[in-house]
């Protein structure tokens, strides 16, 4: 095999796993509508209920995924510190640039075709053309952006600036369009000129590039550092007497890429607000507005992910992570500083800044809450923090920021599918074999339903969310603390082993929650059947009573069974109970008449078959000191139907 072929094969192997991760979402959305529906249902209503989550997920795979692939071709050289070795080989740099550029095109072309086809099928031809133009632009600018940022994720952030220009153009076309044909020809000329300029610039930069290697070479390079004011740069310098503050300063310095990306995100949100492209605003937005808003949300999501992976991922890539383990600072403190700084930066840049833009934009239009629902004040920062923590967990499990970013989607999707598997298993058990039905009948559905009603009344949506997330978060926190201590085995099997406890916990939690729901539903069903049968029998006996209207009736379960069919379950529940039924005048509110709250049994039922419904009240006294139940039936309308209320102590 020729040396050139060896290098191409090596780069192909390096890109195989990222290429598969980028291709997979597009193939799923193209081949299986169920997959897109599943993913959209899992996160529907979390950030904004009116957001087109399918559009946002496809945009993320197309724009961020292809940009990551384009940057990886040269970014992997910086990650593994092999660029100086490549430049020292007896190969012309023009030939090296040609090889890198062709490999970039070969890596980006298949997912580009897949996503353009998805856009054309799902969202229309204009969106597909826009996506194709965007992919061509980022492919051309990948080499100069990577050489400037000297890292894959830094190049990804730089390549988002053309995406900001696309957003601005689409926002203007939404506000002032449609533009004449000559304008679009001019835009096409500008795009072609930009692509040609980026290709030429990338070739020129690689030919003249001087590799400066060393353990801190990548960390020391900060694009635009000369523009930072002196007092800001002085604050980031280390102090000999401030070890903890020095760690925080270094973490903020490692997250330098986020400040540039945050500025772009703020500009994007300003465009969205200025041109009224928010889906929460009044009126129905066009598909162009949905596209621009989706790209803006992707900026915030990218910031949250990068905040979690950049610091620890870069440390492991440079080999400085093991050095820091020898510092006279406890490992727990170092881990907490990294996680806390990442979470703070993520919440500030991905939530606080966009929220400020939305509040100010709404205030300028008459109401600060025009674009912000009160629920967003806690759901949005929670989602941002969870995204950052998940990315940080991936950075602890693998070596390198890029690999951690690529593992984020498989880990999240695996946890979601584990939850679905647990719910399916609980439904399967509940619908086969009569296990749930038999258990509820044996445990007394009336008492069981009161317990379930009390539990459900005590749980709020926030409480349910906490029950689902807190165990996963606690386990992930402990795992990240343990994984932080070591470099980590950089293999796929290692990540699967690390993720298995999370998958098992989510499966068990979803199984328990779904089984609890099945028990609740079955308890309600059996309680309804018992009370309905009891009601029909009491009403038949009560309507056939020939004694004075005010006289009570003393009944037993045998009396009820003689006039109406009773199931074995109803007979078992009543047992040796003593039933006292008395006539009642019409009561407009049966629930209030019973003196109970909303947890009472409350149904609209027909009267006894072939009889006119009559009002009554009954007390069921259980033998052996069991619970007692009060029932009241009030006819309505033409006395064929009525409301039945029941309460058991």
What contacts 24+ positions apart, CB below 8 Å, involve 122-130? 122/29, 122/54, 122/55, 122/58, 123/55, 123/287, 123/291, 124/287, 127/287, 127/291, 130/166, 130/170, 130/291
pLDDT at 175: 60
Residue 45 scores a pLDDT above 60: no
pLDDT at 174: 56
Nearest alpha carbon to residue 308 among 412, 414, 232, 378 = 412
pLDDT at 165: 66
Reported confidence tier of residue 229, pLDDT bands at 50, 70, 90: low
Determine the Cα–Cα distance for residues 9 and 84; give it in Å rounded to an integer: 19
* Residue 622 structure tokens: 């259980």
* Residue 296 structure tokens: 């803006």
pLDDT at 545: 59
Residue 132 scores a pLDDT above 90: no
What contacts 24+ positions apart, CB below 8 Å, involve 263-267? 264/160, 264/161, 264/164, 264/299, 265/296, 265/299, 265/300, 265/303, 265/349, 265/350, 265/353, 265/354, 266/353, 266/354, 266/357, 267/164
Distance of CA 515 to the CA centre of its chain: 23
* Residue 284 structure tokens: 């129905």
Q: What is the pLDDT of residues 517-554, one digit of tens each?
A: 888 888 888 888 888 888 888 888 776 655 545 567 78
Q: In sequence order, what are the residues at sequence separation of 6 or more whose Cβ sits closer than 8 angstroms to the Cβ of residue 213?
A: 81, 84
pLDDT at 464: 77
Q: What is the pLDDT of residues 262-313, one digit of tens each?
A: 888 888 888 888 877 776 544 445 666 666 777 788 888 889 998 999 888 8
The larger pLDDT score, comparing residue 598 to residue 343, is at 343
Q: What is the pLDDT of residues 370-392, one digit of tens each?
A: 888 777 788 888 889 999 999 99
> Do the Cβ atoms of 207 and 292 come closer than 8 Å?
no
- Global pTM reads 0.77
Q: In sequence order, what are the residues at sequence separation of 6 or more whose Cβ sits closer than 8 angstroms to the Cβ of residue 8?
A: 99, 103
Reported confidence tier of residue 338, pLDDT bands at 50, 70, 90: very high
Q: Name the least confident of 21-25, 331-335, 371-375.
A: 21-25
- Residue 624 DSSP one-character state: G
- In a 3-state reduction of DSSP, which class is residue 271? helix
Reported confidence tier of residue 590, pLDDT bands at 50, 70, 90: very low
CA distances from 232 to 251, 252, 306 (A): 15, 12, 22
Report phi then psi at 460, rounded to 5.
-100, 165
* Residue 357 structure tokens: 């833009």
pLDDT at 588: 44
Q: What is the pLDDT of residues 345-368, one digit of tens each?
A: 999 999 999 999 989 988 888 888
Q: Name the least confident of 64-78, 209-223, 533-547, 557-571.
A: 209-223
Q: Name the least confident of 125-129, 522-526, 570-574.
A: 125-129
Determine the Cα–Cα distance for residues 392 and 399; give it in Å rounded to an integer: 12
% pLDDT > 70, the chain: 76
Nearest alpha carbon to residue 57 among 258, 415, 308, 301 = 301
Determine the Cα–Cα distance for residues 436 and 520; give it in Å rounded to an integer: 10
pLDDT at 280: 55
Residue 227 scores a pLDDT above 60: no
- In a 3-state reduction of DSSP, which class is residue 567? coil
pLDDT at 43: 41
Residue-averaged pLDDT of the chain: 77
């Amino acid at each position: 095999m020729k040396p050139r072929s060896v290098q191409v094969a090596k780069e192909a192997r390096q890109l195989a796993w990222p290429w598969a991760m980028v291709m997979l979402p597009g193939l799923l959305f193209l081949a299986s509508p169920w997959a897109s529906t599943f993913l959209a249902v899992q996160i529907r209503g979390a950030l904004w209920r009116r957001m087109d989550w399918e559009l946002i997920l496809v945009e993320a795979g197309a724009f961020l995924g292809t940009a990551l692939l384009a940057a990886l071709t040269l970014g992997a050289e910086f990650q593994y510190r092999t660029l100086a070795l490549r430049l020292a080989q007896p190969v012309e740099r023009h030939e090296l640039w040609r090889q890198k550029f062709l490999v970039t095109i070969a890596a980006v072309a298949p997912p580009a075709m897949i996503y353009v086809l998805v856009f054309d099928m799902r969202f229309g031809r204009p969106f597909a053309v826009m996506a194709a133009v965007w992919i061509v632009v980022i492919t051309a600018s990948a080499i100069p952006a990577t050489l400037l940022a000297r890292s894959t994720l830094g190049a990804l952030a730089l390549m988002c600036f053309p995406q900001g220009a696309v957003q601005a153009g689409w926002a203007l076309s939404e506000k002032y369009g449609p533009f004449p044909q000559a304008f679009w020809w001019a835009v096409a000329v500008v795009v072609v000129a930009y692509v040609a300029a980026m290709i030429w610039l990338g070739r020129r930069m690689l030919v003249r590039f001087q590799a400066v290697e060393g353990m801190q070479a990548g960390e020391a390079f900060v694009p635009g550092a000369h523009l930072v004011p002196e007092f800001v740069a002085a604050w980031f310098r280390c102090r000999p007497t401030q070890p903890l503050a020095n760690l925080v300063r270094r973490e903020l310095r490692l997250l330098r890429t986020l400040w540039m990306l945050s500025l772009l995100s703020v500009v994007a949100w300003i465009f969205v607000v200025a041109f009224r492209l928010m889906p929460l605003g009044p009126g129905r937005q066009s598909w162009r507005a949905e596209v621009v808003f989706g790209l803006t949300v992707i900026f915030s999501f990218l910031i949250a992910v990068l905040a979690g992976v950049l610091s620890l991922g870069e440390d492991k890539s440079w080999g400085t992570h093991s050095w820091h383990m020898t510092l006279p600072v406890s490992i727990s403190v170092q881990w907490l500083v990294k996680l806390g700084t990442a979470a703070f930066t993520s919440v500030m840049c991905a939530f606080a800044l966009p929220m400020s833009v939305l509040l100010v934009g709404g205030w300028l239009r008459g109401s600060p809450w025009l674009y912000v629902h009160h629920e967003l004040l806690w759901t949005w920062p929670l989602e941002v923090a969870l995204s950052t923590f998940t990315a940080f967990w991936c950075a602890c499990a693998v070596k390198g920021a890029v690999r951690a970013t690529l593992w984020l989607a498989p880990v999240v999707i695996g946890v979601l599918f584990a939850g679905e598997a647990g719910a399916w298993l609980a439904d399967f058990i509940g619908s086969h074999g009569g296990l749930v039905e038999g258990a509820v009948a044996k445990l007394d559905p009336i008492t069981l339903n009161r317990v379930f009603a009390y539990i459900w009344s005590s749980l709020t949506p926030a409480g349910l969310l906490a029950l689902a997330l807190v165990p996963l978060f606690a386990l992930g926190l402990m795992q990240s603390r343990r994984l932080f201590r070591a470099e980590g085995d950089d293999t796929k099997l290692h990540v699967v082993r690390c993720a298995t406890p999370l998958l098992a916990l989510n499966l068990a939690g979803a199984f328990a929650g779904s089984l609890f729901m099945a028990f609740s539903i079955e308890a309600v069903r059996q309680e309804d059947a018992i009370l309905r049968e009891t009601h029909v029998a009491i009403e038949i006996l009560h309507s056939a009573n020939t004694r004075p209207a005010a006289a009570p009736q003393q009944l037993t379960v045998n009396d009820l069974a003689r006039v109406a069919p009773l199931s074995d379950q109803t007979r078992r529940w009543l047992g040796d109970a003593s039933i006292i039924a008395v006539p009642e005048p019409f009561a407009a509110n049966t629930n209030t008449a019973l003196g109970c709250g909303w947890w009472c049994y409350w149904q609209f039922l027909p009267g006894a078959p072939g009889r006119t419904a009559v009002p009554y009240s009954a007390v069921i006294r259980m033998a052996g000191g069991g619970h007692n139940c009060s029932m009241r039936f009030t006819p309505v309308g033409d006395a064929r139907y009525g409301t039945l209320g029941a309460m058991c102590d």
